[in-house]
Chain A
């Protein structure tokens, strides 16, 4: 069973700051997801990655397979980035064990 740990649990920062959220997992995976959950509860998939780095706008996600670690970065943070950011891993490679295992989430608040 994969254990997914996120840090920090809570993060409050000022608008414009560079944000880093970390995720570690215990067992090899086929993919890692970063998700965003807003106060209204809806979940948006930000990234799915299995190696290297991906960038979308002000968001960057990296993963180090050997170290079983991923980071989500937000550049030039804005109050609208305030949300819960969730790391989730997928252990299977088709045909089973494809459900995601989730971290507890990082509650991010960006103050103006």
Chain B
């Protein structure tokens, strides 16, 4: 059973370009979380998605950032018109769907995408 996959692992973009980060959850997982780790800072929650549905985007910057998790294919975190401050490691995690009255499942992390904006 493959773990959470993220690609690319490293991404370099010039200021003003778009960055697309992909996350394929573990098999059987339908919940995806995106986190950002700025240099020398801790991890911060960005967004929580189920397939075709954004559940919680309270951690997403109001502009330029968007996320989706379509019915088919990976979850995408999209950053438009990147700026130097977007340089960070972006981690995706996945968990199974809540079932049987049990809501809290462990989150499994991907290896991260390191975005560098030049």
Contact = CB atoms under 8 A, between A and B. Distances in A.
Contacts of A98: 31, 33, 48, 55-56
A89 to B, nearest CB: 11
A85 B83 CA distance: 30
Contacts of A103: 42
Interface residues of B, number: 28
Please tell me the size bucket of the interface on A: 20 to 34
Contacts of B105: 48
B112 interface: yes
B106 A41 contact: no
A96 interface: yes
B69 interface: no
B42 A102 contact: yes
Interface of A: 30-31, 33, 35, 41-45, 48, 50, 86, 88, 90, 92-105
